[in-house]
Amino acid sequence: MKKALFGLMALAGLAVSPLTAAGEDGWITMFNGKDLAGWKSNDEVPGVFTVENGELKVSGGRAHLFYVGPDGAAKFKNFEFKAKVKTTPGSNSGVYFHTEFQEKGWPDKGFECQVNSTHTDPKKTGSLYGVVNILALLPGQKEPEGGTHIKVPEAPSKDGEWFDYHVTVQGRRITLQVNGRTTVEWTEPEGWDPAKALKNMPGRKLGEGTMAIQGHDPKSTTYYKDLFIKPLP
What are the angstrom distances between the C-alpha of 138 and each of 15, 79, 123, 155, 218?
Answer: 41, 35, 11, 12, 22
User: Are 212 and 38 spatial neighbours (Cβ–Cβ below 8 Å)?
Assistant: no
Q: 224: which strand partners?
A: 56, 85
CATH class of 2-231: mainly beta
Q: In what helix (H) or strand (E) does residue 212 lie, and over which residues does it extend? A: strand 210-215
The burial of 196, by beta-carbon neighbours within 10 Å (0-12 exposed, 13-18 middle, 19 or more buried), is given as exposed
Query: Helix or strand or coil: residue 155?
Result: coil
Per-residue pLDDT of the chain (233 residues; tens, 9 = 90+): 434 433 333 333 344 333 335 777 999 999 999 999 999 999 999 999 999 999 999 999 999 999 999 999 999 999 999 999 999 999 999 999 999 999 999 999 999 999 999 999 999 999 999 999 999 999 999 999 999 999 999 999 999 999 999 999 999 999 999 999 999 999 999 999 999 999 899 999 999 999 999 999 999 999 999 999 999 99
The 3-state DSSP class for residue 20 equals helix
Annotate 27-72 with DSSP letters as a single string.
PEE---SSS-TTEEE--SSTT-EEEETTEEEEESSSEEEEE-TTTT
Instruction: Give the containing element (helix H, strand E) for 194.
Output: helix 194-197
Residue-wise pLDDT tens digits, 7-66: 333 333 344 333 335 777 999 999 999 999 999 999 999 999 999 999 999 999 999 999
Query: Cβ distance 85 to 223 under 8 Å?
Result: yes
Q: What's residue 177's pLDDT?
A: 98
Close Cβ partners of 208 (under 8 Å, ≥ 6 residues apart): 75, 76, 77, 98
**Extents of the domains making up the chain:** 2-231
HSE value, Cβ hemisphere, 13 Å, CA-based, for 88: 12
* pTM (2 d.p.): 0.90
